[in-house]
Amino acid sequence: MAMASFARRKAYLLSRNFSPETLRYSLSLASFSRGFASGSDENDVVVIGGGPGGYVAAIKAAQLGLKTTCIEKRGALGGTCLNVGCIPSKALLHSSHMYHEAKHAFANHGVKFQSVEVDLPAMMAQKNKAVSNLTRGIEGLFKKNKVTYVKGYGKLTSPSEVSVDTIDGGNTVVKGKNIIIATGSDVKSLPGVPIDEKKIVSSTGALALSEIPKRLVVIGAGYIGLEMGSVWGRLGSEVTVVEFAPDIVPTMDAEVRKQFQRSLEKQGMKFKLKTKVVGVDASGDGVKLTIEPADGGDQSIVEADVVLVSAGRTPFTAGLGLDKIGVETDKVGRILVNERFMTNVPGVYAIGDVIPGPMLAHKAEEDGVACVEYIAGKVGHVDYDNVPGVVYTHPEVAYVGKTEEQVKALGVAYRVGKFPFLANSRAKAIDDAEGLVKILAEKETDKILGVHIMAPNAGELIHEAAIALHYGASSEDIARVCHAHPTMSEAVKEAAMATFDKPIHV
Ligand SMILES: Cc1cc2nc3c(=O)[nH]c(=O)nc-3n(C[C@H](O)[C@H](O)[C@H](O)COP(=O)(O)OP(=O)(O)OC[C@H]3O[C@@H](n4cnc5c(N)ncnc54)[C@H](O)[C@@H]3O)c2cc1C
Ligand SMILES: NC(=O)c1ccc[n+]([C@@H]2O[C@H](COP(=O)([O-])OP(=O)(O)OC[C@H]3O[C@@H](n4cnc5c(N)ncnc54)[C@H](O)[C@@H]3O)[C@@H](O)[C@H]2O)c1
């Protein structure tokens, strides 16, 4: 298991184009933990950062019998994900989808209103309620598992000491035999596009606008741009997405991405691909953006009431004291770790968005559990080849494993099976049949290599595929599992049938 994990980590690091030196360094560090506290006020584990990586690591460490403290600066647990990321965005995606459905789809089902309107403060209040309930819930889990929670800004003063400026204005020193850095990430700002969180906003500002902007320009057609662009587009904004690359969401399978882009365009989203923003002028009422083709050419002006900067995120290590104790980072500021999440400083570990890898909450959680399992002397495991990605638009797009482009690049002979939701009885029954399931399997063995789903609930459907990939299943394995009728999941079964043989319903 440990060897398999090592091999996967190596392959993963290779896939991230790490230099040979970095690789050697990253993989050669010996397993090392400093033992456990007994009866002293010293912790076995101190976690800096209470996001999905940090709070999950803290709870798991405590469950493994380790004396654990978690330090969080924002005064609420859950990190970016719960406070200003996954949860508030999904709340607004759901609320705005209901409004959009009420306006455009309910009549098809024979449900009619005199009028339907948006109450933005009520929508925001529902989002805030979801966030505060969940953050309080994590505090409850900390109490239940006996994790000590220190509210304040942590700074490493030695490999076993964290000085904390507490949010009530005091200072305390927290000692630990093992320290886990889980400080996450922050928005990546673009030169010449200063974020004021009013007219030029990051995702945090876009989650809390007090008015629906008439014109929203989104910089970056990634996860945040498409999700937040969908929210405000459904509520009435004219949304233009400016993307430097030739395609939206570059990590997506190209065939699915094309269908996805068409679907978003049908919903009114406009795309300016292969385009860069070269300047902004926010001196007037709105914002004027100067854009030009990515390869150079004539400039033009796009006007907006609000601009969303969503061109990626960057690891957050400000004020953490990494220099002081000599923790090594790569060129873009990510903390380098070995396969046991250990930095070059013995006893200091790092997980989640602050290390290389996809910046996703579920990946941070997996890192957190595996890291403390190693610290506790067990074997941790994260399957980095099978981390699902989901864009929570409507339809959603979800994927796990390899894209067709990646399979081609590997030179593996493969088969493709597809099934459209137009032929799925449940999707037709609910009149929501846009999308498809696409399965890629190795030709010789039928082993599944990747699954890509565009569907209203693709983010739920994808886990059948994730389990299949994890267990090394073949497409025939899925096809021979009895799937309940009528469900959207039957489309996964049919796509699997189409991969190894023939589907029934198309
Ligand atoms: C708008 C948006 C939507 C997203 N939606 C999704 C989604 O749907 N699904 C998904 O998987 N991912 C989503 N993400 C990404 C997800 O939020 C991150 O991948 C995840 O939060 C990373 O977890 P983490 O624990 O590594 O870091 P974070 O969640 O960033 O947590 C780090 C915590 O550390 C604290 N901290 C930092 N420095 C210190 C310090 N020195 N002392 C004390 N505390 C400190 C911070 O305050 C923060 O609370 C979204 C992100 C954004 C911005
Ligand atoms: N549903 C989810 O799981 C979810 C939702 C939101 C955020 N997230 C996470 O948060 C992270 C940040 O999200 P994001 O959307 O900001 O980043 P992203 O990496 O998903 O997308 C950024 C996009 O901006 C483009 N870009 C970069 N510089 C640009 C420039 N100067 N001009 C125009 N386009 C430019 C990139 O080509 C890319 O397509 C992501 O890595 C993602 O993992 C996940």
pLDDT of residue 41: 74
pLDDT of 15 above 90 = no
Give the global pTM: 0.93
**Which atom of ligand 2 approaches the CA of 223 most closely?**
15
- Which residue, judged by its Cα, is nearest atom 14 of ligand 2? 312
DSSP class of residue 31?
P
With a pLDDT cut of 90, the percent of the chain lying above it is 92
pLDDT of residue 17: 45
List pLDDT tens digits, range 27-81: 433 344 455 554 457 999 999 999 999 999 999 999 999 999 999 999 999 999 9
> Which candidate, 45, 48, 49, 75, places its Cα nearest to that of 60?
45
- Which residue, judged by its Cα, is nearest atom 45 of ligand 1? 49
Give the H or E element holding residue 292.
Answer: strand 287-293
Q: Say what the ipTM of the complex is.
A: 0.99
Q: Does the annotation flag 175 for ligand binding?
A: no
Residue 244's Cβ-side half-sphere holds a number of Cα atoms within 13 Å equal to: 11
Contacts of 102 (CB under 8 A, 6+ apart): 113, 116
pLDDT of residue 362: 98
Distance of CA 228 from the midpoint of ligand 2 (Å): 11
> Scanning the structure block, which residue is given the tokens 């969080």?
72
pLDDT of 4 above 50 = no
> From residue 186, how far is each of 92, 189, 436 by CA, in Å?
21, 9, 34
Q: Does the annotation flag 220 for ligand binding?
A: yes
Q: Does the annotation flag 221 for ligand binding?
A: yes
- Which residue, judged by its Cα, is nearest atom 21 of ligand 1? 81
Give the H or E element holding residue 303.
Answer: strand 300-304
With a pLDDT cut of 70, the percent of the chain lying above it is 92
Q: Ligand 1: which of 48, 86, 231, 382 to mutate, judged by most atoms within 8 Å of the beta carbon?
A: 86
List pLDDT tens digits, range 412-423: 999 999 999 999
Q: Which residues line ligand 2 (CB under 6 A)?
A: 190, 219-225, 227, 242-245, 250, 276-277, 310-313, 358-360, 390-392
Q: Which ligand is nearest to the CA of 58?
A: 1
**Whole-number Å distance between alpha carbons of 65 and 145:** 10
Distance of CA 362 from the midpoint of ligand 1 (Å): 11
Query: Is 485 an active-site residue?
Result: yes
- The string of DSSP letters for 338-372 reads -TTSB-SSTTEEE-GGGSSS---HHHHHHHHHHHH
**Whole-number Å distance between alpha carbons of 402 and 67:** 40
Q: Which ligand is nearest to the CA of 245?
A: 2
pLDDT of residue 500: 95
**Which atom of ligand 2 approaches the CA of 389 most closely?**
3
pLDDT tier for residue 91 given thresholds of 50, 70 and 90? very high
**Which atom of ligand 1 approaches the CA of 71 most closely?**
43
213-226 mean pLDDT: 98
pLDDT of residue 342: 98
pLDDT of residue 39: 46
Q: Does the annotation flag 183 for ligand binding?
A: yes
Q: Which ligand is nearest to the CA of 185?
A: 1
Give the H or E element holding residue 452.
Answer: strand 448-455
pLDDT tier for residue 261 given thresholds of 50, 70 and 90? very high
- For 119-182, strand residue ranges (E) read 148-158, 161-166, 171-181
- Which residue, judged by its Cα, is nearest atom 33 of ligand 1? 49
List pLDDT tens digits, range 366-389: 999 999 999 999 999 999 999 999
**Which atom of ligand 2 approaches the CA of 275 most closely?**
33
Most confident of 1-15, 36-50, 105-119: 105-119
> From residue 164, how far is each of 58, 60, 70, 72, 172 by CA, in Å?
17, 23, 11, 9, 5
**Whole-number Å distance between alpha carbons of 438 and 453:** 6
- Which residue, judged by its Cα, is nearest atom 17 of ligand 1? 81
Q: Which of 104, 109, 485, 505 is catalytic?
A: 485
Query: Hey, what amino acid is at 439?
Result: I
Distance of CA 313 from the midpoint of ligand 2 (Å): 7
> Which candidate, 135, 132, 165, places its Cα nearest to that of 150?
165
21-32 mean pLDDT: 39
245-266 mean pLDDT: 97
> From residue 172, how far is each of 30, 37, 150, 163, 270 by CA, in Å?
32, 19, 9, 6, 51
User: First CA to last CA across the chain, in angstroms?
Assistant: 42
pLDDT of 357 above 60 = yes
465-491 mean pLDDT: 98
What's the mean per-residue pLDDT of the chain?
Answer: 93
Does 185 contact ligand 1 (Cβ within 6 A)?
yes
Q: Which ligand is nearest to the CA of 389?
A: 2
Does 72 contact ligand 1 (Cβ within 6 A)?
yes
275-299 mean pLDDT: 95
**SS3 category, 483:** coil
pLDDT of residue 3: 39
List pLDDT tens digits, range 483-493: 999 999 999 99
Q: Where are the alpha helices (DSSP H) in 361-457?
A: 361-375, 404-410, 425-429
Joined together, the tokens standing for residue 178 give 């093992």
Q: Ligand 1: which of 81, 138, 232, 337 to mutate, judged by most atoms within 8 Å of the beta carbon?
A: 81
**Cβ atoms 499, 416 nearer than 8 A:** yes
Distance of CA 316 from the midpoint of ligand 1 (Å): 9
Sort strands 68-72 and 43-48 into parallel, antiparallel or unpaired: parallel
Q: Ligand 1: which of 84, 92, 165, 183 to mutate, judged by most atoms within 8 Å of the beta carbon?
A: 183
- Which residue, judged by its Cα, is nearest atom 12 of ligand 2? 312
165-185 mean pLDDT: 98
**Cβ atoms 162, 48 nearer than 8 A:** yes
196-214 mean pLDDT: 98
- Which residue, judged by its Cα, is nearest atom 44 of ligand 2? 223
Does 70 contact ligand 1 (Cβ within 6 A)?
no
**SS3 category, 159:** coil
pLDDT of residue 169: 97
**Cβ atoms 243, 257 nearer than 8 A:** no
pLDDT of residue 143: 98
